[in-house]
Amino acid sequence: MTVVRASPGRPAPATQEGLDVVTFGEAMVGFVADDGLDLALSQRFARQVVGAEANVATGLARLGRRVGFFGRVGTDALGDSIVRGLQAEGVDVSRVVRDATRRTGVLLRDVWVERPIQVAYYRSDSAGAALGSGDIDGSYVRSARLLHLTGITAILSDSAWECTRAVVEAARESGVAVVFDPNLRRSLCTDEVAIPRLRDLAALCNVVLAGLDEVVALTGERDTEAGARAILASGPALVVVKDGARGSWAFDRDQYWHQPVFPVTATDPVGAGDAFAAGFLHAWLDSPSVPGALTTAAITSALCVATRGDSAGLPFADDVTALEAGETDVRR
| Of 91, 97, 117, 30, nearest in space to 278 by CA | 91
Q: At residue 4, does pLDDT exceed 80? A: no
Judge whether 12 lies within some domain: no
Query: Band of the pLDDT at 131, cuts 50, 70, 90?
Result: very high
Judge whether 11 lies within some domain: no
Query: Band of the pLDDT at 226, cuts 50, 70, 90?
Result: very high
Judge whether 286 lies within some domain: yes
**What is residue 14's predicted lDDT score, i.e. its pLDDT?**
59
Judge whether 8 lies within some domain: no
| pLDDT tens-place string over residues 85-98 | 999 999 999 999 99
Q: Name the residues annotated as catalytic.
A: 274
**What is residue 220's predicted lDDT score, i.e. its pLDDT?**
95
Strand order in the sheet with 119-122: 45-50, 28-33, 106-109, 119-122
Number of domains in the chain: 1
Range of the domain at 42: 21-324
Judge whether 329 lies within some domain: no
Percentage of residues of the chain with pLDDT beyond 70: 93
CATH of the domain at 192: 3.40.1190.20
Strand order in the sheet with 67-70: 67-70, 21-24, 146-150, 177-181, 207-211, 238-242, 248-251, 256-259
Judge whether 330 lies within some domain: no
Residue 314: its H or E element: none
Judge whether 1 lies within some domain: no
**What is residue 305's predicted lDDT score, i.e. its pLDDT?**
83
**What is residue 331's predicted lDDT score, i.e. its pLDDT?**
53
Judge whether 245 lies within some domain: yes
Q: At residue 155, does pLDDT exceed 80? A: yes
